[in-house]
């Protein structure tokens, strides 16, 4: 992943950044379509100058991408070390909560729809947000293979997809399916039966 460029000049105010993001959310909640949200309108709603927005984001698309991240990215709070089964269950539970948020949040659906309809924005979203989730899962699977908890004759990306695929299928392709609390345990235990190390 390309490192973030070093920030120059005076430190940026987190309060101003938060006010700008809140301004976007307020406009969307008031029914302004994402395509009609302009930097000028956001700055006016946040009570800042346009320069304050442009110092933080190169344009509207980058700002909207950060708003989407804010809406859909609760931090991963599951276990980070220990038996691979417990960590995998924690990651899938995290994905399940994101999936529930996507289904219940009108704002999140609006923003996701806007981003997916702009190829370059969608590409950036996948290279940042989705890539981080994938790397987390790959690291866990790789450690499981190294410790003999998972088979070593299946490529790590394939192993990771075996665990993540069923949850993603329910969230993205079968929105009518429930996401019950025991789903992460069910998926992990079912997959482990076939990929457990000897």
Judgement on whether residues 111 and 144 belong to the same structural domain of the protein: yes
- Give the CATH number, domain containing residue 86: 1.10.357.10
Model confidence over 2-36: pLDDT tens digits?
Answer: 444 444 444 457 889 999 999 999 998 888 888 88
26 and 84 belong to one structural domain: no
Domain that holds residue 40: 14-56
Same domain (yes/no): 32, 87: no
Average pLDDT score over residue span 86-101: 90
- Which residues neighbour 56 within 8 Å (Cβ) at sequence distance 6 or greater? 12, 16, 17, 20, 63
Asked whether residue 184 falls in the same domain as residue 152, the answer is: yes
Domains contained in the chain, number? 2
How much is the pLDDT for 176? 75
Secondary structure of the chain in HEC code, one letter for each residue: CCCCCCCCCCCCCHHHHHHHHHHHHHHHHCCCCHHHCCHHHHHHHHCCCHHHHHCCCCCHHHHHHHHHHHHHCCCCCCCCCCCHHHHHHHHHHHHHHHHHHHHHCHHHHHHHHHHHCCHHHHHHHHHHHHHHHHHHHHHHHHHHHHCCCECCCCCHHHHHHHHHHHHHHHHHHCCCCCCCCCHHHHHHHHHHHHHECC
Q: Positive or negative CA dihedral for 69, 73, 74, 79? A: negative
136 within some domain: yes
Does any domain span residue 5? Answer: no
Is 132 within a domain? yes
Decide which of 79 and 131 is more confident. 131
Judge whether 32 lies within some domain.
yes
Write down the pTM of the prediction: 0.74
CB 114 within 8 A of CB 64: yes
Same domain, yes or no: 51 and 75: no
Question: What pLDDT is attached to residue 3?
Answer: 44
Alpha-carbon distance 93 to 184, whole Å? 6
Alpha-carbon gap, residue 112 to 127, rounded angstroms: 15
User: For residue range 139-194, what is the model confidence (pLDDT) as tens digits?
Assistant: 999 999 999 999 999 999 999 999 999 998 888 777 778 889 999 999 999 999 98
**pLDDT more than 90, % of the chain:** 44
């Amino acid at each position: 992943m390309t490192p973030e460029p070093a920030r120059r000049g005076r430190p940026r105010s987190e309060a101003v950044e938060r006010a700008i993001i809140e301004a976007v959310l307020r406009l969307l909640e008031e029914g302004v379509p994402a395509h009609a949200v302009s930097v000028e309108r956001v700055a006016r709603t946040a009570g800042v100058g346009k320069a304050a927005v442009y110092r933080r984001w190169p344009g509207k698309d980058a700002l909207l991408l950060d708003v989407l991240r804010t809406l859909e990215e609760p931090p991963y709070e599951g276990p980070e070390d220990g038996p691979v089964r417990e960590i995998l269950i924690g990651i899938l539970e995290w994905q399940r909560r994101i999936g529930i948020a996507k289904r219940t949040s009108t704002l999140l659906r609006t923003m996701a729809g806007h981003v997916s309809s702009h190829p370059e924005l969608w590409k950036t979203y996948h290279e940042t947000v989705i890539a981080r989730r994938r790397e987390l899962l790959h690291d866990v699977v790789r450690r499981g293979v190294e410790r003999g908890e998972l088979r070593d004759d299946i490529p790590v990306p394939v192993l990771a997809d075996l665990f993540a695929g069923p949850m993603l299928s329910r969230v993205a392709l079968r929105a009518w399916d429930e996401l019950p609390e025991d789903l992460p345990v069910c998926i992990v235990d079912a997959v482990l039966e076939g990929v457990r190390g000897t």
